[in-house]
Amino acid sequence: MENCLFCKIIKGEVGCEKVYENEYILAFKDIHPVAPVHILIIPKLHISSMNDITYENSEYIKQVYIAIREVVRISCIYESGYRVICNCGEDGGQVVAHLHFHLLGGKHLGSKIVHE
Ligand code: 5GP
Ligand code: ZN
């Protein structure tokens, strides 16, 4: 996808603070962190959103969740805990149309997952 920001980050055309990478995924620090640990985990395949996950691309989704464990260990939040968020579409607050998972931690995140 030529105009996709996260595809450009994958290709190295836009810089990022890389945390972890393998054949399937890239994990990098969010540019506007909302917690001490705020890392985006993205598949190295352009999947626009949760709506576009299929059986055919599901290997990437499996690899995202396996990689989250690695990133959690690297970030030293394995014991303290964390939250993984995936926004989808307008009501879900998705801004970048390349599937991504926010890994948040490093502080007590509270119990609310939706603003009043
Ligand atoms: P969304 O709202 O789509 O779920 O989240 C997009 C996230 O991407 C936001 O948290 C935003 O701060 C982050 N972001 C947007 N542009 C960039 C960028 O160029 N570099 C990095 N590292 N993060 C970005
Ligand atoms: Zn993309």
> For 74-104, what is each residue's pLDDT tens digit?
999 999 999 999 999 999 999 999 999 999 9
Q: Could you tell me if the CB of 33 is within 6 A of ligand 1? A: no
The torsion angle over the Cα atoms of residues 85, 20, 28 and 41, rounded to 10 degrees, is -30
Distance 61 CA to ligand 1 centre (A): 19
List of residues 6+ apart from 25 with CB closer than 8 A: 41, 42, 43, 44, 60, 63, 64, 67
Q: Rounded CA gap, 66 and 104, in Å?
A: 16
Average pLDDT over residues 62-69: 97
Confidence of residue 116 (pLDDT cuts 50, 70, 90): low
Pocket of ligand 1, candidates 30, 39, 41: which has the most ligand atoms within 8 Å of its Cβ, to mutate? 30
Which ligand places an atom closest to the C-alpha of 7?
2
Say which CATH class 5-105 falls into.
alpha beta
Among residues 39, 40, 37, 42, which one has the least CA distance to residue 109? Answer: 37
* Percent share of the chain, pLDDT over 70: 98
Q: Could you tell me if the CB of 82 is within 6 A of ligand 1? A: no
Residues belonging to the chain: 116
**CA-closest residue to ligand 1 atom 4:** 94
Q: Could you tell me if the CB of 94 is within 6 A of ligand 1? A: yes
| pTM for the model | 0.96
Count CB-CB contacts under 10 A for residue 38.
17
